[in-house]
Amino acid sequence: MTIRGSKKLWTGCAVGLVWFLILLWPMLGIKPEGFEFAATFQVFGYVAVAAVFVLFFYQVKEAGYLDAAGKPIQSAAGLIQRAYAKTPTWVLLGATLAVAIVFPLVTGRYAHDVAISVLIYICLGLGLNVVVGLAGLLDLGYIAFYGVGAYTYALLSLNFGFSFWLCLPIAGLLAAIAGCIIGYPTLRMRGDYLAIVTLGFGEIVRLILNNWMALTNGPNGILGIPRPELFGFDFRSLASLYYVILAIAVVTVLSVYRLNYSRIGRAWEAIREDETAAELMGVNTFLLKLLAYAMGATFAGFAGAFFAARMRFVGPESFSFLESAMVLSMVVLGGMGSIPGVILGVLALVALPEVFREFELYRMLVFGGVMTLMMLVRPAGIWPAKRVGRRSEEME
Amino acid sequence: MEFFIQQLINGITLGGVYALIALGYTMVYGIIQLINFAHGEFFAAGGYMGVILISYLSAQGLHPYACLAISLVLAMGYCALLAMAVEQLAYKPLRQASRLAALLSALGMSIFLQNGLMLTQGVYDKAYPTEITSGGLSWGLVSVSYMQMFIVALTAGLLLGLNLLVFKTRIGRAMRATAQDKVMSALVGINSNRIIAITFAIGAALAAAAGIMVGLYYGSVNYSMGFVPGIKAFAAAVLGGIGNITGALVGGLIIGMVEVFAAGYVSGEYKDVFAFVILIAVLYFKPTGIMGENVDDTRV
Amino acid sequence: MKRLLVLVVALALLGLVLGGCGGKEEKKAENILKIGTLSPLTGPYAADGNDIRQGAEIAVEVFKAQGGIPGYSDIQVFPQDSACDPKQAVAAANKLINDKVSAVVGAYCSSSTIPASETLAEEKIIMLTPASTNPQVTERGLPYMFRTCGRDDHQGPAAVKFMTDVAGVKKIFIVDDKTTYSQGLADGVESAARAAGIEVLDHDHVNQGDKDYSAVLTKVKAAGPDLLYISLQNSATGALMVIQAKRMGIDAILMGQDAVYHPQLMEIAKGDAEGMFLTFGAIDKNATAFKDFQAKWKEKTGKEPGAYSAYSFDSATAYLNAVKAAGTTDPAKVREQLMKLKFTGASKDISYDEKGDSGSNYTVYQVKDGAFVPYWNSLTGQKY
């Protein structure tokens, strides 16, 4: 790095730190009794030391002093990558699946719980990926379908004694219908109008779940939902439930994969890239956009039914806007339109807050910061989808 | 009738608050097409800065109105600085990236700021010294507090000022040019980065003013107060036609009125459902909002 | 192909974290007594949630200062955030199970306590809730579920008894904010009031997160009730409603419940809260047990104890006492001891019944000069 570049970096850092101090001090230092500086400078001290350290490290790395340490890692990574490129895809997938199957046998209860969450969110993320990633329709109320699925199973099993396996397709179907209902009025809208309308729909569904006492029992939620059962086998332990959701997740991954590379998937991508052009080429945009909503909603419905069975309790709190935003974050963070990307995004966003549980109060602060940071470092997502051909906006 | 008039007054006040927050959303959206989720947090930060400054200044023995005026200006300045920092760190590097990336970055910032407020200010609500603004007028069932008048007057004043700024000054012209075409406006010598930073600063300053109003009117602030009004204000901005300053006012008033009348005449728990149904219905028949977008949609 | 590296590292990290956490702590786990707390440390109910956590921590400190519990080298508290969200509460409960806690103090929201208790029951972990008043919490036949606070189905009738016997009101208006707790209680008050011959003018709802109650309060003013019953989940929102009611010129008697009972109410509403009535468990603030607790609380936090601080302190104390008596953390034996337990806690005299309830002793308090003053006891029917 040149001296000038280095100077620029350090001035930037200094300006940033001074700015931070100006923002921090009024919050911590102005008291009715007078000004106080100790608390501010304590916090500021930590941040400043951390910033200087990171910057120093960055410069050392840029200067190449870390090559000695970096080289072996890089060559090892290269080795793995070559091995990866040579290994047939089915071996990799088989290995992943094998790990997934063995996982509950070697881990404890808490890990099962987190793994189940991860798999539920994988279903949700992949479903939303159909809507946002493939068809390019921004949806901020996606969690509503999850809620529809969850309440479907809860109500049908408690009121009519339907089994979990029968309710699963019904939940998917009802969620798909809800998807069409929500999709229909939004078809004329684009971009951010779509965002606020779907957000509105999500809130409406949540409020109805919270207020329609006769049907949903309102804020009390529904208690005592039965566990899944198959030929007399009761899915009692978390580990057995893990296999149920694993199966649902695998089905979801396969379906989304097949959809992605089908005629429908191509048509969705065409709509995403340029709706007018797609329509001119004979793509039935109306039907396909509705289909995108319905397909996406179906997977959320499956996940919802399982969620109800796993928690044995559903309440409206689980279907708030923040959940929608979370699922959307997983999709975008992982890489829109890319199945491995979405899975990585889910792993990152479910695992991070759990890892940060140790930080207690700082948990969500760190989470928010890391989320922004990840977007800054990899704006296209951790594992962006491969796209065919070049796009006009990339030529600029 | 008195009932109706009272609800109308309630609706205008609530609508005024939403409009003040919606202005910031709409300005930022108009210029860089970003839904700034962190905007609600600027609102909360403004509310906190207000209570911190007012308590400090009144402890120094200043006249309450002087306290209020000074705090208002300082808190607006504080939030402007905060917004510029957020813009510089979290949005500027993503200007070329996909809009969803920026949206998520904004969401991350929102969570970060909200928790930052929680850690520095504590989880308990902070009480505003409401004595400054107590009192009001009343006729029978109808009562109007001075604070309600103040909110409406301030909203109107800031809106007028903002309109003058955008349509009558050089900076305003530069803003409109940048909103229309960043490359072209750069070619004619407009520093678009600076203009965007200024837009963020103004939007956040308005949110800070709204935060102080809310604190004074309702009596307290807390760190999570930005979330719900943020969503409502966003809906208001879209309803009025996002990017359109008058639209934000119209949208804010409509959302406020619908909520109040739904709660007053139908049922309190479904008032938000009514607000969102109206929003969806309006957008269904008029997809660019009531006042229309202020920007052409070829860029969308 | 940096992706693969990222993938491998991410998976490895995840595996380490998930697998590793459980493993490394087991070695020294022999004789450390571990208690978890489960309460909303973030989100809108964080104020009460932190009170619960600190209450348990202070109880442990007291025990340690007295020389700990024989057979245990240390007592540790593992605080977890439930965020008042059922899903997070279950995840946190599982985390506590992994941490090998033997008892959990919490949770706050009834809607978190219920699902979390199902999870904890599977591992026979004792749960003592200091704050969840929904009857369902102890009505499900879980042997290891205990409740140190009162029950909503006692609180509602107590409030109504106050309305008829003491306040002598004819017409009431009820407002709640649609949570398991607040609505359940408001419904209880409504049915009890109807049964007692009080006219219920309306029962309206507001949403959580709202700050503006003007529309509903205008309705209240137009209806002209003798008493406005406010059932909100949070003392801060309760304060906002009180301020707005006074500003609107509503002259009905204001009455709140235990969630609104918090020093925050007077801090925010100031003079507007004067004269308001609230139902809350009788805490004898002049008793030595409470005074000792109050002193310790102030020393640790610099504030007055919150509504649930004393209940949380007592929950943890009850458990620790039971462990001391049983000499083990074996849940069945500890339960036996908990059943036998009778002691004077900071909040009340504590003894658990077969269901795990500790009885309700709701008292009506009135706000006077910025403090809660006991006004009328529902058990004795006497004014203080």
Q: What is the pLDDT of residue A389?
A: 52
Q: Classify residue A78: in a domain, yes or no.
A: no
Per-residue pLDDT of C239-274, as tens digits, reads 999 988 988 888 899 999 888 888 888 888 888 889
Q: How far does the CA of residue B137 sit from the closest CA of chain A (Å)?
A: 32
pLDDT of the residue at B203? 92
B vs C: CB pairs below 8 A: 107
Tell me what the mean pLDDT of segment C31-43 comes to. 87
Q: Which domain holds residue B38?
A: 9-133+141-226
Residue A32 is nearest to which of B55, B235, B270, comparing CB atoms? B55
Give the tens place of pLDDT for each residue, C302-335.
Answer: 888 888 889 999 999 999 999 988 888 888 999 9
Number of domains in chain A: 2
Give CA separation, A152 vs A56, B159, B181, in Å. 56, 48, 49
- Cα separation, C106 vs C181, in Å, equals 15
**Is C270's Cβ below 8 Å from some Cβ in B?**
yes
Domain total of chain B = 1
| A287: CATH | 1.10.3470
Domain coordinates in residue numbering, chain C:
29-149+308-352, 153-284+363-383
Q: What pLDDT, on a 0 to 100 scale, did the predictor assign at position C26? A: 43
DSSP A383: S
Q: Tell whether C124 lies on the interface with A, counting CB pairs under 8 A.
A: no
| A74: in domain | no
Mean pLDDT of B245-254: 91
| In a shared domain, residues A333 and A241 | yes
**C313 near C37, Cβ under 8 Å?**
no
- CB-CB under 8 Å, B35 with A365: no
- Chain B window 43-102: which residues touch C at a Cβ cutoff of 8 Å? none
Please check whether residues A163 and A303 belong to one and the same domain. yes
A283 and A362 belong to one structural domain:
yes
* Contact between chains at A24 and B242 (C-beta distance less than 8 A): no
Q: Touching check for C20 and chain A: CB below 8 Å?
A: no
Is the Cβ of B227 closer than 8 Å to some Cβ of chain C? yes
Cβ pair B227:C210 closer than 8 A:
no
At the second CATH level, the architecture of C153-284+363-383 is 3-Layer(aba) Sandwich (3.40)
Contact of C202 with chain B, judged by CB distance below 8 Å, is answered with: no
A311 and A231, same domain (yes or no): yes
On the CB side of C191, CA atoms within 13 Å amount to: 9
For residues A109 and A252, state if they share a domain: yes
Report the pLDDT value the prediction gives residue C307, as an integer from 0 to 100: 81
CATH architecture label of C29-149+308-352: 3-Layer(aba) Sandwich (3.40)
Q: Does C84 touch chain A (CB under 8 A)?
A: yes
| CA–CA separation, A195 and A350 (whole Å) | 24
Q: What pLDDT is attached to residue C30?
A: 60
Residues of A in contact with C49 (CB under 8 A): none
What mean pLDDT is reported for chain C? 85
Give yes or no for residue C23 having a pLDDT over 50: no
Contact B10 C269 (CB under 8 A): no
- Is pLDDT larger for residue C298 or for residue B97? C298
Is a pLDDT exceeding 60 seen at residue C29? no
In a 3-state reduction of DSSP, which class is residue A282? coil
pLDDT tens digits, chain A, 396 residues: what are they?
A: 577 888 888 888 888 899 899 888 888 888 888 888 888 888 888 888 988 888 888 888 777 776 666 777 778 878 887 887 777 778 888 888 888 888 888 888 888 888 999 999 999 999 999 998 888 888 889 999 999 999 999 999 999 988 899 999 999 999 999 999 888 888 777 667 788 888 889 989 999 998 888 888 888 888 888 888 787 777 778 888 899 999 999 999 999 999 988 999 989 989 888 888 888 888 888 899 999 999 999 999 999 999 999 888 888 888 988 889 889 988 988 888 888 899 999 988 887 777 776 666 777 788 888 888 888 888 888 888 776 555 555 544
**Does residue A391 lie in a domain region?**
no
Q: Which of B5, B10, B134 to mutate to test the interface with C (most CBs of C within 10 A)?
A: B10
B3 assigned to some structural domain: no
Residue B120 Cα, gap to closest chain A Cα (Å): 6
CA B123 to chain C, closest CA, distance in angstroms equals 5
- Chains that contact A by 3+ CB pairs under 8 Å? B, C
Please state whether A225 falls in left (phi above 0), alpha (psi between -120 and 50) or beta: beta
Q: How many angstroms separate the Cα of B299 from the Cα of each of A267, A274, B32, C28?
A: 23, 12, 11, 63
Closest chain A residue by Cα to residue C90: A311
Chain C residue numbers with beta carbons less than 8 Å from the beta carbon of B225 are 211
Lowest average pLDDT, out of A49-53, A313-317, C21-25, C294-298, goes to C21-25
Q: Do B225 and C211 touch (CB under 8 A)?
A: yes
Does A86 reside within a domain? no
| Pairing assessment for the beta strands C277-281 and C253-256 based on DSSP bridges | parallel
- Contacting subunits of C (3+ beta carbon pairs below 8 A): A, B
Confidence of residue C19 (pLDDT cuts 50, 70, 90): very low
Sorting pLDDT into bands at 50, 70 and 90, what band is B294?
Answer: low
- pLDDT at residue C20, as a whole number: 44
Share of chain C above pLDDT 90, in %: 27
Distance of CA A241 to the CA centre of its chain: 21
Residue A312, min C-alpha distance to chain B (Å): 27
Predicted pLDDT at C28: 46
Same-domain status, A62 and A102: no
Residues of C with CB below 8 A from A344's CB?
A: 6-7, 10
- Is A73 part of a structural domain of the chain? no
CA distance between the termini of chain A: 28
Range 32-61 of C in CB contact (< 8 A) with A: 41-42
Indicate yes or no: CB of C41 within 8 angstroms of CB of A360.
Answer: yes
Are domains C29-149+308-352 and C153-284+363-383 of this chain identical in fold? yes
Determine the structural domain holding residue A246 and report its residue range. 97-385
**Contact by Cβ (8 Å): C40, C233:** no
Q: Tell whether the model's pLDDT for residue B73 goes beyond 90.
A: yes
Provide, as residue numbers in chain C, all residues whose Cβ is less than 8 Å from the Cβ of A80.
4-5, 8
Say if CB A167 and CB A305 are below 8 A apart: yes
CA C271 to each of CA A114, A200, B230, B252, C227: distance values in angstroms, whole numbers, following the listed order: 48, 39, 30, 32, 19
Closest CA in chain A for residue C177: A219
Take residue C166 and report the two structure tokens written for it. 């003491």
Q: Which residue has the tokens 């003491």?
A: C166
3-state secondary structure chain C: CHHHHHHHHHHHHHHHHHHHHHHHHCCCCCCEEEEEEEECCCCCCHHHHHHHHHHHHHHHHHHHHCCCCCCCCEEEEEEEECCCCHHHHHHHHHHHHHCCCCEEEECCCHHHHHHHHHHHHHCCCEEEECCCCCCHHHHCCCCCEEECCCCHHHHHHHHHHHHHHHHCCCEEEEEECCCHHHHHHHHHHHHHHHHCCCEEEEEEECCCCCCCCHHHHHHHHHHCCCEEEEECCCHHHHHHHHHHHHHCCCCCEEEECCCCCCCHHHHHHHHHHCCCEEEEECCCCCCHHHHHHHHHHHHHHCCCCCCCHHHHHHHHHHHHHHHHHHCCCCHHHHHHHHHHCCEECCCCEECCCCCCCCCCCEEEEEEECCEEEEEEECCCCEEC
Indicate yes or no: CB of B100 within 8 angstroms of CB of A369: no
**Token duo for residue B23:** 């202005």
Residue C209 at interface with chain B, using a CB cutoff of 8 Å: yes
- Altogether, the residues listed in chain A come to a count of 396
